Structure 1
């Protein structure tokens, strides 16, 4: 069961959101203190945060930055501000999505499901999935052999070298590194990157995989991602496929 932390100072709206989350089978809790938010949030250890912009003491952008210093937990902003710049600020400060008030609850739930699927989707299974889902606030790193993915910074590291990833590259790396040495279906990768894959050109995934391969090559990892024709892709941490500098 995913835990969702609601940061909304309007008690009526917070109660409506909490009730809606629970109707969909999620566990939910609303913040009670807005001067010192982080202890309460970390104690709850959510897999998703719904964050209002207009809050007492400090606004949502401030709290989003504070969360991002410690965690890559997904954050959806909720705000009465509908301007383009407000949404740009939300994304630039570390938010994953944005929805305006008055809230369309079904649209919100679609966004919640989409963000959760991208962050902890079907590609994560077994032990990795349990650790990822239960430690959204504390898990900061994913490893496959000596290859490390720093989730909060969206960086790959190997043998002391680091390279920064785009959002899609990071999602692909996390998906493949959660299943090292195993074939990950193209459909699974598509669903990890995009909410609605019906109209996504299959070549778009190939382009993103190619970009990730180039980032791995910058680290000295050649042919780390293998194409399995007709099935998907496989990440190998076999040192025979890697180039020592």
Structure 2
């Protein structure tokens, strides 16, 4: 189940909200002081943050902005204000949704579930797995057997097009078009060099014979 982090200075509201969320099966953590709340959020690595706008000694705006410099975790802002300015400011600082108090718990739960679904779809779309190898497109990292390796830009693009079209031969020209999207002439040998580098990178992960050459046709995985 997803992990949620609640930032709410009103103790009774915080307790009530945590109770509702835990009844739904969420793992929850919260802050009772706010000097180091951003560090607490990052350390907990939640799947979603529920963040009150008005906090003692700081503000939800500040917390949202600072979290965004260190994490892309979804943030739902809570506020007793129905000001359009507050909503606009929240979204501009990177909040994913905005709920006005007093809120219906069922509505807040629906908003949380919606944000989590969107995040899950986005995360799934940024990862490709085939034959024991996983490619994280957002981070440019390939992993297999518990090992991970940063790829170069060209290695990432070559592996992505092959894994996205696995079990299908991709011609050298198609790969070259993907790598060098211009009308300038590119030496065919340059692709061979990049393919060989990718094979060596995969071998560092213990992945051998993954990238198959079909002579005169292209490559496939």
Structure index of larger Rg: 2
- Settle same-fold status: TM greater than 0.5: yes
Look up the SS of the partner of 2:103 in the other structure: coil
- For residues 123-151 of structure 1, the C-alpha deviation after alignment (integer angstroms, 9 at most, x for no partner) is 729x879xxxxxxxxx9943388xxxxxx
Look up the SS of the partner of 1:124 in the other structure: helix
**Match for residue 178 of structure 2?**
242
**Match for residue 17 of structure 2?**
17
- Measured after TM superposition, the shift of residue 12 of structure 1 is 0.8
Would you say the 8 A contact 2:42–2:67 is kept in 1? no
- For residues 164-219 of structure 1, the C-alpha deviation after alignment (integer angstroms, 9 at most, x for no partner) is xxxxxxxxxxxxx7x95169xxxxxxxxxxxxxxxxxxxxxxxxxxxxxxxxxxxx
**Match for residue 84 of structure 2?**
84
So what's the TM-score if we normalise by structure 2?
A: 0.60
Whole-angstrom CA distance in 2 between matches of 1:6 and 1:141: 27
Whole-angstrom CA distance in 1 between matches of 2:59 and 2:65: 10
Would you say the 8 A contact 1:54–1:79 is kept in 2? yes
Whole-angstrom CA distance in 1 between matches of 2:83 and 2:98: 11
Would you say the 8 A contact 1:35–1:56 is kept in 2? no
Change in Cα spacing, 1:69 to 1:116, as seen in structure 2 (3 Å) is same
Whole-angstrom CA distance in 1 between matches of 2:31 and 2:153: 39
Whole-angstrom CA distance in 2 between matches of 1:6 and 1:82: 20
The correspondence for 2:140, drawn from 138, 143, 156, is: 143
- Measured after TM superposition, the shift of residue 121 of structure 1 is 3.2
Would you say the 8 A contact 1:72–1:140 is kept in 2? no
Would you say the 8 A contact 1:4–1:49 is kept in 2? yes
- Measured after TM superposition, the shift of residue 41 of structure 1 is 1.4
Q: What runs of 5+ residues in structure 2 fail to find an aligned partner?
A: 130-135, 143-151, 155-159, 167-173, 183-221
Change in Cα spacing, 1:41 to 1:144, as seen in structure 2 (3 Å) is closer
- Measured after TM superposition, the shift of residue 242 of structure 1 is 1.1
Whole-angstrom CA distance in 1 between matches of 2:123 and 2:81: 35
Look up the SS of the partner of 2:54 in the other structure: coil
So what's the TM-score if we normalise by structure 1?
A: 0.55
Deviates more, 1:66-75 or 1:20-29: 20-29
